[in-house]
Amino acid sequence: MKPLAFPHQLDSEKTLAALIAGQYPDEHGRYGPFGGRYVPETLVTALDRLERGARQRLSDARFRAEFEAQLAGWVGRPTPLARAARLGELWGVELWLKREDLAHTGAHKINNAIGQALLARHLGARRVVAETGAGQHGVASAAACARVGLPCTVYMGQIDVERQAPNVDRMRRLGAEVVSVTTADRTLRSAINEALRDWVSDPAGTYYLLGSAVGPHPYPWIVRELQSVIGREAREQMIAQAGALPDAAVACVGGGSNAIGLFHPFLADRGVALIGIEAGGRGQGLGQHAATVVNGRPGVLHGSYSLLLQDDDGQVVETHSVSAGLDYPGVGPEHALLHAIGSVGYETVSDDEAIAALDDCCRYEGILPALETAHALAGAQHLARLRPGARLLIGLSGRGDKDLPALAARTAS
């Protein structure tokens, strides 16, 4: 599939209306110029089978009932919407947290993992492979596969294995085989590469349980459909508890699964500003951050045409973030489209700003957020300075127990 030329202008109103109406992805898996499917021929049949199966199952009342029963009885949905009164007072805003950290396994990743694990079983897969950066998707995949009775292999970059050791132990306790990837940048990008290689070797018997809203079609669509439960619940809870929709909803963005899950159900609400926060790392130079939307250019990575961090020769560059889950040089194609039409604003916060916001959340709310989530908190703090008194909703995507070794090491250094 040939990449479409990136247009200098898109009709924002028509494109947004088409997205809300379900016309994206189109029949080619495109979100405007983004998305598509750039894979070896050996995977085309597997992806066709996955798309047919996913569309059939996700529209089937019996499958939806099975999925929703797992969300309610095992994942613990709906997750709470909590007023963060003390932190809001500190920042001068009305602050609400969508508590995905209270979902089973400690992050939003479980919504997608159990949905795809059920799909894998329905499609007759014999085993599951997955990738992980921060480890939360790996833990969720391991737990979901244990739940449905499928063996699971998780690929994880060597650097992430070291900085996310508690999650590695959890995955193994849950029965997964964890493979440390020592090639290339040894982070999430390398883990995805190895998971894809494994899948290519047995596309008929292996199901690739992709954890973010990236990759070849239909994965960005599947992940969005499974994660949109976050935004649907949050929207209903804001009306019931706050008496109104938020002025803005803020979420961290790496590949973009928790953000697209929160944002998508709010796209028709023009009064709600949607803000995605990327990892600004330790500087503006290539290799110092993971701010793909803010600083990226269109290109192909991991089977999809989207925005990437690349050098002048088009080579994808290594990234940096204190957060393992945001340390990725690409972003989901729907995010690329939302940026192109101006429906979501994307900004960055630095490592230091994220850690400061994490400390505030701990001290004022008694909640230890994940380092990924801490970026969203810092982004909301930026917004609070610009819009004092605003009603802000933050996607609190995960808990930070997994990050304690990294935080301790940073304090000691």
Q: Return the active site residues.
A: 109, 131, 397
Where are the strands (E) in 70-151, listed by range?
81-83, 94-99, 127-132
Can you give the length of the chain in residues? Answer: 413
As a whole number of angstroms, the distance between CA 293 and CA 270 comes to 22
Q: Which two tokens stand for residue 352?
A: 């230091």
- Cβ–Cβ under 8 Å, residues 286 and 308: no
- Token pair 């039409």: residue: 341
DSSP 251: E
- Token pair 């799909």: residue: 119
3-state secondary structure of 395: strand
Cis bond leading into 218, ω under 30°? yes
**Residue 79 exposed, middle or buried by CB count within 10 Å (0-12, 13-18, 19+):** buried
3-state secondary structure of 12: helix
As a whole number of angstroms, the distance between CA 247 and CA 52 comes to 38
Q: Which two tokens stand for residue 256?
A: 């973009």
Q: Which residues contact 294 (CB under 8 A, 6 or more apart)?
A: 278, 346, 347, 348
Instruction: For residue 351, give the nearest of 413, 412, 410 by alpha carbon.
Output: 410
Q: Which residues pair with 393 in a beta bridge?
A: 96, 249
As a whole number of angstroms, the distance between CA 363 and CA 99 comes to 17
Fill in the amino acid letter for 235. Answer: R
Q: Left, alpha or beta for 228 (phi > 0: left; psi -120 to 50: alpha)?
A: alpha
As a whole number of angstroms, the distance between CA 37 and CA 29 comes to 7
Fill in the amino acid letter for 10. Answer: L
